[in-house]
A and B are shown apart, each in its own frame.
Chain A
Amino acid sequence: MKKRMMSILLAGCLSMGAFAGCGGGNGAAGGNGGAGGNAGGNAGSAANVTNDYELITVEGSTHQYKKYKDMTTENITLNYFHFDQDETVKLLADRFMKIYPNITVNVQYENVANYNTTLSTLVSNGEAPDIIMHSDCDYALSNMLLADVSAYFNSDEETKNLADTINSAGLGTYNLEGGMRYSVPVKFFPGAMFIDRNVLETLNLNVPTQNWTWPEMIQLIKDATVLDSPDGMAYYGLGYYNRLDSYYGIAARQDIIGEFGFNGKTFDLADWAVGEQEFSNLKIGGYIAPVTETQAMEDWCGDWEGWAGNTGHAAIFSEAFWTFQNTWNTPGYKDTYNLDIVPYVIPAVSDADAGENHHSIATIDYGGITTSCQYPREAYELLKFMSFGIDGWYTRCEIYADETIVNAMGTALKYDVMPVPITKDEGVWEEYIKVFCAGMDEEHTQLWRDYFKSCMQPISFGWTSIAGYWNFCDQYFNSIGIHDLVDAGTAQAADYVEEANRKANYYHAQAMLDYFGPNAYNVLTEAEIAEYEQMKTDNQ
């Protein structure tokens, strides 16, 4: 009996230890961390950027770099944790160390899929990096990873010349009344609609102007869909990677600062619903090309793993910005396929907005200084160099221009997810256009120039810039599968607007209180706390 009991006990210990133990992370000491009391710290409160610098040149470059005089002369080390293109970041770090020889920069890369996991492990082991990138802001804010850098950012003259919405829409500030800034834009990929002009020519359709409108685009998609084409292979109006719902929702409103009609406090998904319904109607109507690894794709082009982007039978693409340099513009691709891909800004919804610079969706990854960073001034300078800084961008252009510098796959860095400068500095843009449009004729270069000029009103995807957005998607939007329901025609997008507004407002209010309230950063005013509490109650 004793033996039996013992064996049961041991089996119990084995299974309990194996499973319950895995939730305990690293088994590190518990203990209460310092909750509350502005635990997030204020990296920029001690000093501002003086903008007092000397111009220096470094070996291997003709560019004159700003060396700021308020930087420390001590020998220090900064740890930069990122999911950017690793070879590029390492070269940027080398250049930064040449400008500031007393600063050692340790670069640590992790791919996006494992980024949060590795970062959490580092932080829980007491090895938090000094500078981090982040994609979803909820993760960074809920764990109070980011320090307030507003003093540095606001006093830095270079930040005045960023893409308009960075300052006007307060991207990275989470719309706090005190003007605190926790994140700065690191990687910028503007939204784009790509058109294959060869397809339009084949179908005898007119090429649209750069000032096109949303109805014109929808009409073009419909016109370019020819299912019974003479060559035996159907033509489709749209090959999609991104759905058009958020494209529409952002282009339609010039008074918002975030996805889903977010005005800084509340959401209004009415315009999103129009875009969602329009996209689903195109899908149901058969105007959208099949996606890869489907029977429809196999039936269309005879290849299960085919891609609409290389068939020469799809007119417009809602592909990510990087697809152009990564794929369409690579030497092998250009030689193999007969494509003439040109960029268009995401069209304005109203005629009035079409002639002006209007909002367009963009993929922006942000970064910040961690709350445990010992050298925030120096860390800010490094962060700037790696992201929006003019000197950093001159260096990037040098790196991208040299096609002998390759990544681990042997591809030149220009073709490996090259971002776009978010600064409006003309010198940087001249260099960038030279690199980006290398090998293009004057007409195409001009098209790209026009495109770049018209996409500098970016609004980033919600999860990167709106507190509680991810909670909303996780707990409501994705869990009920709105896209699938509308695509299947079993529901109308407009039916969800009221409920989605309430839910989004609730999760946002809750997140603001959780992240910035008394138990966390503690930077909300009493009026703000009361307002968010009320918002929570109203939308519960």
Chain B
Amino acid sequence: MAETKKLTRKEKKELKERMKHLKSGKLEKRYARVGYIFMIPWFIGAAIFLAYPLGSSFWYALNNIRITPLGRIFNFVGHGNFTQILIEDPDFMIYLVDYLMSTALSVPIIVVFALLIAMMLNMKIKGKGFFRLIFFLPVIIVSGPILGMLNAEGAGSVSAIDTAALSEAIGSVLPSIIAKPISDVFGNMITTLWYSGVQILIFLSGLQKIDKSMYEAAKIDGGSAWECFWKITLPNMRSMIMLNTIYTVVFISNNSDNPIIQLIKESMFSGTKEKGYGYASAMAWLYSIVVLILVGLFALILMTRKDQYEKQVKRAIKARKKEKRNKLKVERRNRRNARRIEKQRAKGKITTHNTKREDY
């Protein structure tokens, strides 16, 4: 077995230089080309449907826009639209607080409900496929107008829950700005749960990827189902929980029934001179920043952390490396000291005890 030689810094540099001038082979080139070709549609799509609308929307937000049959008229107002929204538009701030409260409440409800349903659907039950269909059906059926009709008929709330009494009770304890979104969540409980179809599927795929031998090992060690959930299922599903949380936040925030989306739409086509496309764009930007912060917060809370075992291994490796370094340091110091003593002795500056002993 060939012994691997450790390269010096100089050699490493030379190798790097040589690699730079090396021409890649035909196959490698073809792979690279195909890679770029595969990426081109995404780049084109992102440029047309993401970057350009984003840029346009930001430009609109800085203008007062009139859409006339003879063309669009842009009057640059700088941050005027933003200040007007924040200072003069009471609806926006009220809706924003409502949105934040209801999202903070409904996202955990949806995600937890989806996880529970996914776990049940992952169990060995008859008609599993049928139940999966049942839970996914609302995603297909409950589009905007149908959902509106169902809500109008009172199908969005659980009839067993006395929402009026609940709202009254919450309202008596909390200020109305907080009480209203909470009451709304209870009032639209069914609607909220209908939003969990996609999340259930994502959780299901995550659950099916968990190695079954982990559960078997845990059961051999006497672990209960409850312990298995906390020690195996939940840690393994953490990344899926984050994904579903972000998906749910984006879904709720972008839903056509969301009052802020309605407000943006109304502003876009408002007859009042102050509003219009520019004003609506500014509102959309402010809203998107808030949503982004919310997504960031959820991501920070739920971001996957490495598990304890891995941490301990890393810590041990680190400690061993440190120990090794210290050992080397001591050895080097000892050698250095020995050389110095040797030199001094050669010059006759040091008289060793050995000589004296010999004299005795």
Is B337 an interface position by the 8 A CB rule?
no
Which residue in A17, A142, A471 is a CB contact (below 8 Å) of B66?
A: A142
Is A470 an interface position by the 8 A CB rule?
yes
Chain B residues with Cβ below 8 Å from A136 are: 271
Establish whether residues A30 and B74, one from each chain, have CB atoms under 8 Å apart when the complex forms: yes
Establish whether residues B70 and A23, one from each chain, have CB atoms under 8 Å apart when the complex forms: no
Q: CB-defined interface of A1-37 with B at 8 Å, one 1/0 digit per residue?
A: 0001000100111111111111111010011111100
Is A519 an interface position by the 8 A CB rule?
yes
Establish whether residues B250 and A23, one from each chain, have CB atoms under 8 Å apart when the complex forms: no
Closest to B279 in A: A23
Q: CB-defined interface of B261-283 with A at 8 Å, one 1/0 digit per residue?
A: 10011001111111011001111
Establish whether residues B74 and A471, one from each chain, have CB atoms under 8 Å apart when the complex forms: no
Q: CB-defined interface of B42-71 with A at 8 Å, one 1/0 digit per residue?
A: 000000011011101111110000111111
Chain A residues with Cβ below 8 Å from B59 are: 30
Chain B residues with Cβ below 8 Å from A18 are: 250, 253-254, 288
Is A117 an interface position by the 8 A CB rule?
yes
Establish whether residues A41 and B70, one from each chain, have CB atoms under 8 Å apart when the complex forms: yes
Establish whether residues A23 and B271, one from each chain, have CB atoms under 8 Å apart when the complex forms: no
Establish whether residues A33 and B73, one from each chain, have CB atoms under 8 Å apart when the complex forms: yes
A39-B68 CB under 8 A given contacts A15-B253, A32-B74: yes
Chain B residues with Cβ below 8 Å from A468 are: 273
Closest to B281 in A: A23
Closest to A371 in B: B69
A470-B57 CB under 8 A given contacts A20-B285, A519-B75: no
Among listed A120-128, A279-287, A526-534, interface-contacting one = A120-128
Chain B residues with Cβ below 8 Å from A520 are: 66, 73
Establish whether residues B272 and A474, one from each chain, have CB atoms under 8 Å apart when the complex forms: yes
Chain B residues with Cβ below 8 Å from A8 are: 296, 299
Closest to A519 in B: B75
A144-B282 CB under 8 A given contacts A8-B296, A116-B271: no
Closest to B284 in A: A23
Is B292 an interface position by the 8 A CB rule?
yes
Chain B residues with Cβ below 8 Å from A511 are: 273
Q: CB-defined interface of B86-115 with A at 8 Å, one 1/0 digit per residue?
A: 001010000000000000000000000000
A24-B73 CB under 8 A given contacts A18-B253, A142-B271: no
Is A164 an interface position by the 8 A CB rule?
no
Is A62 an interface position by the 8 A CB rule?
no
Closest to A35 in B: B73
A23-B282 CB under 8 A given contacts A8-B296, A14-B250: yes
Closest to B261 in A: A22
Establish whether residues B273 and A471, one from each chain, have CB atoms under 8 Å apart when the complex forms: yes
CA distance A123 to B68 in the complex (A): 7
Which residue in A11, A22, A470 is a CB contact (below 8 Å) of B271?
A: A470
Is A457 an interface position by the 8 A CB rule?
no
Chain B residues with Cβ below 8 Å from A32 are: 71-74
Which residue in A13, A16, A33, A142 is a CB contact (below 8 Å) of B72?
A: A33
Size of the chain A interface, CB-CB below 8 angstroms: 57
Chain B residues with Cβ below 8 Å from A35 are: 73-75
Establish whether residues A21 and B53, one from each chain, have CB atoms under 8 Å apart when the complex forms: yes
Establish whether residues B295 and A124, one from each chain, have CB atoms under 8 Å apart when the complex forms: no
Interface residues of A in 96-135 (CB under 8 A from B): 116-117, 120, 123-124, 128
Closest to B251 in A: A18
Is B287 an interface position by the 8 A CB rule?
yes
CA distance A16 to B51 in the complex (A): 10
Establish whether residues B54 and A17, one from each chain, have CB atoms under 8 Å apart when the complex forms: yes
Interface residues of B in 268-321 (CB under 8 A from A): 268-274, 276-277, 280-285, 287-288, 291-292, 295-296, 299, 303
Establish whether residues A145 and B75, one from each chain, have CB atoms under 8 Å apart when the complex forms: no
A145-B68 CB under 8 A given contacts A23-B281, A32-B74, A470-B272: yes
CA distance A474 to B266 in the complex (A): 12
Is A173 an interface position by the 8 A CB rule?
no
Is A514 an interface position by the 8 A CB rule?
yes
Establish whether residues A143 and B68, one from each chain, have CB atoms under 8 Å apart when the complex forms: yes
Establish whether residues A16 and B292, one from each chain, have CB atoms under 8 Å apart when the complex forms: yes
CA distance A143 to B250 in the complex (A): 33
Chain B residues with Cβ below 8 Å from A22 are: 254, 261, 264, 284
CA distance A371 to B67 in the complex (A): 12
Is B246 an interface position by the 8 A CB rule?
yes
CA distance A371 to B73 in the complex (A): 14
A20-B272 CB under 8 A given contacts A4-B303, A11-B246, A372-B69: no
CA distance A19 to B264 in the complex (A): 10
Chain B residues with Cβ below 8 Å from A373 are: 69
Is A525 an interface position by the 8 A CB rule?
no
Establish whether residues B273 and A23, one from each chain, have CB atoms under 8 Å apart when the complex forms: no
Closest to B267 in A: A23
Is A245 an interface position by the 8 A CB rule?
no
Q: Which 10 A-B pairs have the closest CB atoms?
A: A33-B71, A23-B284, A139-B271, A372-B69, A23-B281, A19-B288, A24-B57, A128-B69, A138-B271, A144-B68
A residues with CB within 8 A of B: 4, 8, 11-25, 27, 30-35, 39-41, 116-117, 120, 123-124, 128, 136, 138-140, 142-145, 370-373, 468, 470-471, 474-475, 479, 510-511, 514-515, 519-520
List 12 A-B pairs, Cβ < 8 Å: A8-B296, A8-B299, A15-B291, A20-B285, A23-B282, A23-B283, A23-B285, A30-B74, A34-B70, A124-B67, A128-B69, A140-B271
